[in-house]
């Protein structure tokens, strides 16, 4: 199998392309536009790179913020558990009747308010009896069991 080829090479003078004036203007215009587009593309690539860096920084900050919020929520949960385990201060108010020796002779009507702090109760009592004057007293109690 053989191939025939033909080649012509002018070695005496370099090749020259001749253009009309309008063609030359169009070539120059295209070259200038290409250079401008190349510069615009470089600027856009720089801006895109900057935006990507900012996006990474933002994602890092969001992850950091989320971890801080998670830690804070854990801390708040622990604090709430501690607070709920402690018994809060209780305010009480009572109205009652007191008798002596399990009889209904001369009953005493009383009103009592107190504050209960863990095992200690502090308060005041006002009492009235039918044939007696109104009196008052202080209440101090310690819870044994």
pLDDT at residue 77 is higher than 70 = yes
Nearest alpha-carbon partner for 143 in 113, 118, 115: 118
**pTM, entire model:** 0.37
DSSP string, 88-116: PPEEEEEEEEE-STT--SS-EEEEEEEEE
CB 110 within 8 A of CB 136: no
Question: How does pLDDT run across 28-54, given as a tens digit for each residue?
Answer: 888 888 888 888 999 999 999 999 999
Q: CA 97, CA 45: separation in Å to the nearest integer?
A: 90
């Amino acid at each position: 199998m053989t191939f025939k080829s033909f080649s012509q090479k002018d070695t005496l003078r370099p090749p020259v392309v001749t253009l009309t004036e309008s063609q030359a203007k169009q070539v120059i215009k295209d070259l200038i536009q290409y250079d401008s587009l190349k510069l615009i593309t470089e600027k856009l690539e720089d801006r895109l790179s900057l935006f990507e860096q900012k996006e990474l920084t933002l994602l890092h900050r969001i992850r950091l913020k989320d971890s801080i919020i998670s830690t804070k929520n854990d801390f708040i949960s622990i604090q709430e558990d501690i607070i709920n385990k402690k018994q809060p201060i209780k305010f009480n108010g009572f109205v009652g009747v007191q008798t002596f020796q399990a009889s209904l002779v001369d009953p005493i009507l009383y009103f009592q308010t107190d504050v209960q702090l863990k095992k200690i109760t502090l308060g005041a009592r006002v009492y009235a009896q039918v044939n007696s004057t109104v009196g008052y007293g202080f209440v101090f109690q310690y819870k044994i069991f």
